[in-house]
Amino acid sequence: MDRGFSSVHPAVCFTYYIFIILFAMLLFHPVYLLLSIAAQAAFLLLHGRGRARGKSWVFFGLMGLAVLLINPLINHRGSTILFYLFDNPITLEATVYGAMLMLSLLDVLAVFACYQQVVDNHKFMYLFSSFLPKTAFLLMMCMRFVPLLLGRMKQISVVQKTRGLDMTSGPVKKRSRDGMQILHILITWSLEEALQTADSMKARGYGVTKRSCYWDYKMGREDRVLLAAILVLAAVTAAGSYLGYGTLAVYPTLGAVSFEPASLAFYGAFCLLLLIPIFVEGKEILLWRS
């Protein structure tokens, strides 16, 4: 059962994450980036997903580190020279720029992780089945086939192990050849069977009328209110970005992070936008605890 932000209408969640992903790429400013990363991290922790995909986060961390280091090493623009490395000036500006690039990369990846947590594959299908019905149907079938095929692969590998076909040991060349052999057995098994499925579908009237959807979501009053709030806050943030508040001037001299009233207002609007999922979740937790 969905709860919290996941129980909001999928169109609202989808719109929300489209904006957040756009802003993660558009806004190049430490305050915005740090706020967004903090909000995504808090959301993931709230969902107990802090440790999920730990391995890929190590990889993403290394990617971010590479971005952080590459920029000051290859880029010598900027007016404040920190030190010289092999006669190449390392500037403060390039270092800060590299750090912001790293934040931006991590932010994009964190937003995708949250997106996946909220808009799961069923909701994605629900949204797309209305204007790309065939493609959505194709994807839906394909999604169902993958676990089926993985189960079959397991069966095939257990049987084939008895005649020495084993993907888990040996040199890479042997393992990949054995893996392809398993795929070959799988394809002969599954294609034939898939066509029987198709005939059975046809017999039950596939393609006779418009397809309906198993999951149905109704847009309620709360969903509309949330959608309106998201649109207004996103419009304010976009206006801020258009007016130049969303980008920190780095070259030729590092600009200061501004805390004048106008920029504070734009930070605030973005902060409210970021807090929407946490607000929805928090409200639910409070209501159920008290």
Partner 1 sequence: MQHLKPRLMVVVLLFVAVLGISTFWLQDQYLLLGILLVLISTVPFFIRFEAGKQNAREMVLISMLAAIAAAGRVLFAALPNVKPTSFVVIMTGLAFGPEAGFMVGAVAAIVSNMFFGQGPWTPWQMFSWGLMGLTAGLLQKKSRLEKRLGLMAFGLVWGFIFGWIMDVWYVIGFIHPLTWETVLGGFAASFYFDLVHGLSNAFFLGLLSNSWLKVLQRIKLKYGLLER
Q: Which residues bind partner 1 (CB under 8 A)?
A: 22, 25-26, 53, 56, 63, 67, 70-71, 74-75, 77, 97, 101-102, 104-105, 108-109, 112-113, 115-116, 121, 132-135, 137-139, 141-143, 145-146, 148-150, 153, 167, 172-173, 175-177, 179-180, 182-184, 186-188, 190-192, 194-195, 197-199, 201-202, 206-207, 242
Q: How far is the CB of 223 from partner 1 (least distance, A)?
A: 24
Q: How far is the CB of 161 from partner 1 (least distance, A)?
A: 14
Tokens of 135: 């493609």
Q: Are 284 and 3 in contact (CB under 8 A)?
A: yes
- Cα gap 36→232, rounded to integer Å: 18
Q: How far is the CB of 77 from partner 1 (least distance, A)?
A: 8
Nearer to partner 1, 129 or 263 (CB): 129
- Cα gap 242→239, rounded to integer Å: 5
Nearer to partner 1, 23 or 266 (CB): 23
Question: What is the chain's Cα-based Rg?
Answer: 25
- Cα gap 204→271, rounded to integer Å: 52
Q: How far is the CB of 282 from partner 1 (least distance, A)?
A: 26
The stretches of 78-132 forming alpha helices (DSSP H) are: 92-118, 121-128
Q: How far is the CB of 42 from partner 1 (least distance, A)?
A: 20
Report the amino acid identity of residue 135.
T
Give the angle subtended at the CA of 165 by the CAs of 164 and 168, to the nearest 5°.
105
Nearer to partner 1, 74 or 265 (CB): 74
